[in-house]
Amino acid sequence: MVMFLFLVVALAVVVAAVTLAVVGGGEHGPLPEAAPERLHDPLPPDRPVARADVDSLRFPLAARGYRMADVDDALGRLAAELAERDARIADLESALAGARAAARASLEKHGPEEDR
């Protein structure tokens, strides 16, 4: 019987606390909604994203969400792939510039060939 009485009193306290939290306590009214912490997007809007941008990216913590280790692993992989692609693009652009310069030099040296 004592245990039942204790449970009833505990339930009444919980109901009263929840009611006060929802309705508000007095003249100040209900509590305002807390603004969720949002990600300030530091990614550059005026240029392509680079590895350093991904490395500096930090997400806010939340009670529910993703495992930080998984996010870190995924961002690490993305950053590495971005760096590899940027290096490959730079190599290809360099090779293309060299080929264009060689073709231009060849045209200047030999001149345009006439059809016979």
User: Over the stretch 81-107, which tens digit does the pLDDT of each residue have?
Assistant: 989 999 999 999 999 999 999 999 988
The residue whose two tokens read 């305002």 is 32
- Per-residue confidence (pLDDT) for residue 38, from 0 to 100: 66
Q: Can you tell me the mean pLDDT for 49-57?
A: 83
Q: Tell me the CB-side half-sphere exposure of residue 91, using CA atoms within 13 A.
A: 6
Residue ranges per structural domain of the chain: 41-109
- CA dist 59 and 42 (Å) reads 11
Is residue 31 predicted with pLDDT exceeding 90?
A: no
43, 52, 44, 41: which is closest to 86 by C-alpha?
A: 52
User: Over the stretch 59-88, which tens digit does the pLDDT of each residue have?
Assistant: 777 777 777 888 888 888 888 898 999 999
- Residue 26 DSSP label: S
- CA dist 53 and 64 (Å) reads 25
Task: Indicate whether this model's pTM tops 0.85.
Answer: no
